[in-house]
Structure 1
């Protein structure tokens, strides 16, 4: 399944989900492992890399800028880096597909190298704003020529040496934070990012693991992350944990389908990523953790989730940064809860792969779910655990999380839910539908 070839998909109730599975490697960590290894001197080895289209776009871009990247027959990736400051001029435009993470973080890398790069993307990515990254990187000396509204296609010229800055994040965004820190890697002096609201910290953990001189200070202003430039990164052995964003779909599916009992192995439980587990447990979800451990500096555990009646909650807005990608799945859980769930404080959903607030409001509403749409979220009146009506077609809006979330909703609908195009699922979870078939007894896992 390629995200460029439309893939209509229809789903109806199948009964309980049962069994064990692993989810793909964490997408955020996979992107960063390729980039940081590509800047190290020597060979890094990466196990468990997510091989979805977004991460492959990052690999292709790093190859285009000089890194040698190979995958062996066992699925282990080997990266020989060019060293900080060693990125080469790409001969053609860097095609980012649907990946906002690839685009924004690679813009940070290019910003402090004396090269010019053009970034292009698909129709969905080309609608997403890049101004939030352009602003701080321009202050560091990079120059940009973008499409109207600071969008792709976009050409940037890096500056070497760049100018170190102190930057206060105006919105909670790990991508913007990471872009500035990556630009700081090859910038003389100290570059600082101040985040008033903590966001996922994979960049900080991994940069420190690769040998960057990085400090984190908690202050009244917020968290101050400082990085010393002209760094020398050392190659690493990386094991990528399972992606909690991918696990979220099975956590919700097993929670809403009676009789379900699912175990998900090797899930990354970085505290900046576990908001969805916190919210589901607040609703009454039966989620247990086993074999908690640390892998590559990241906390990991196996999760067992069993069907349980869910109750409506008011989702704490301060959970938003730690579950921003999981709101579509949470909205589905709310559709089956008892009472009215209010989930607000998530304006960032408006500028994801799609406008996820509008897309999920339209999708759930068309399938018989009562809801109210706000600028920053939704209020959803649940079905008290009963099947929702279903019976409508969903527009995925080229968004993998809309497609997967509404597939989960279809598992507990009275009538078939159809999705106009589920092909974007390949960007983050190529085996999603095969895993669904396995858990519902349709086939054995590959």
Structure 2
């Protein structure tokens, strides 16, 4: 066999070995590959961790759902997009349901603010209830972060509370204003009596005026107390069958002297033997207030009529006058406390501005309503509508069926004039 030359063997050996530049390039390529691999591994690990955190943060913590079920307020848990994940039962009143998004922009802004700061926030907002733009509600909205991506939103309806607070503020302000007049008058008249101590006639005149102001003060205080009781109570404390005949008779009797002094005739007509359920004294005061108002606003020589009309389920007590009437602009506010359509006349006649408000609340407490008809220059008619009941067994009228009592049960009568406390 022929032998290879020694030089060719050396060349072959060197041919299998990299040169330095090749070795450097190979090392660089391997380093880049390892670097890219490590970078991809880090990115993958970061994303996996982020996904795990997101899945964890999107999970409602244990117990939150149970708390929502037991809440009376509207409450919900929302995610970063405003999607509702869980709700309390009351949330439906504001149109908030699981799977929906918050529609109110102010609520969404509140949630975004809490999510960005991580701090609990509370705001007073006016939002619609159930998507009805005609039913805005005043609410206290409180948002708190749950983790990094969820927010607990609690919506408390404070509309009624705010209304009551405003009523109290108005009541205190109006009462303070109304009490200043008689109290101030009594103080001035007392000083006048001191100055006129040597003049018996002047003293008697001032004393008479003090008595009148004291009476007005007593009337105002009494009506304030009556109205406060009616507004404070959720229902009537003393409920029993009430004869409308007795209510009308007592109301008229209490105002006969006032009518005679004003030259106004009182007349009673309509159905008799009608009964309702309620508090007799409250109803007497309510009807009496209507009669007193009718007398005040009636011209001398006119008539005030008190009529009763009953059907199957409703009793109507109407008090009509032939007075100056009520302007249309005043009709919506006529039942407000201390509101007077004719300020000068009311002051002159000693009106308190509370009578019609008492009528309204007394009627509502009995499950009824008050209606008003009026024409300027022709007069006014106030009608109290109350639920009717059958006459009690011990009334002597017996229990009638609705059909029978509607046709016959309470015979209508003609108008009965009342003079000096007696019918004529």
**TM-score, normalised on structure 2?**
0.24
Name the structure, 1 or 2, with higher relative contact order (CA <8 Å, separation 6+): 1
TM-score of the superposed pair, with normalisation by structure 1: 0.23
Q: Which has the larger radius of gyration?
A: 2
Identify, as 1 or 2, the structure richer in helix. 2
